[in-house]
Amino acid sequence: MKRSTPRCPVPAEQLPIREYEDMRESWFYSWGARDLRGYMLPVLVVWGLSWLVSGPIAAVSYSPHHFLIKFLVSAALGALVIPALTLLQLYVGWAHVGNRLQIKDLPYEESGWYDGQIWTKPDDIFKRDRLIVDYQVKPILNRLIKTFGIMAGCLTTGILGLSLF
């Protein structure tokens, strides 16, 4: 007698594995899953474009003709805001998918917010999802945390530098 697998009641678009695959294929969220060069390039482009906002603001505070170093440092620090927010969005998205993959009892909605249900993942699906978290999602989150640390170091160094000049 063949044992039948219970049918998964979770709508396809709410399955954590589907959410994970959608994020990996997404133009924005795939940044986190790329190799180092593919990850850094968009971050640096966003930082460079952020100079269009921070440069004029810094120029009002420190005239580039008289205070070039203060202007450059303050504009560079100000330009960190938009990449930081961008990376924060990446982190929140990947952390959400990682959390949904990690839990055994998965909340889902059949047709709307008022009919929430809980599905307990079978052991094989739960183990597969945990492996995805451990080997795919956690490295992305760790890379983002390291980037935040580097940005915090740049911010601290820049602020100390500005106070010395």
Residue-level pLDDT, tens digit, the chain, 165 residues: 455 556 788 888 999 999 999 999 999 999 999 999 999 999 999 999 999 999 999 999 999 999 999 999 999 999 999 999 999 999 999 999 999 999 999 998 877 666 788 999 999 999 999 999 999 999 999 999 999 999 999 999 999 988 887
Give the pLDDT confidence score for residue 5 in this predicted structure: 55
> What torsion do the CA atoms of 59, 63, 65, 69 make, to the nearest 10 degrees?
-80
Give the pLDDT confidence score for residue 12 in this predicted structure: 87
Q: Is residue 6 part of a domain?
A: no
**What is the rounded distance in angstroms from the CA atom of residue 16 to the CA atom of residue 34?**
20
Give the pLDDT confidence score for residue 117 in this predicted structure: 86
Q: Is residue 158 part of a domain?
A: yes
Q: What's the pTM?
A: 0.88
Q: Is residue 122 part of a domain?
A: yes
Pair 160, 74: CB distance under 8 Å = no
Total domains, the chain: 1
Structure tokens at 109: 């909605």
Pair 118, 37: CB distance under 8 Å = no
Q: Is residue 137 part of a domain?
A: yes
Give the pLDDT confidence score for residue 110 in this predicted structure: 78
Q: Is residue 83 part of a domain?
A: yes
Closest by CA to 84, choosing from 142, 52, 43, 54, is: 43
36: containing domain: 32-108+116-164
Q: Is residue 53 part of a domain?
A: yes
Pair 89, 95: CB distance under 8 Å = no
Cβ neighbours of 80 (radius 10 Å): 17
Q: Is residue 4 part of a domain?
A: no
Q: Is residue 63 part of a domain?
A: yes
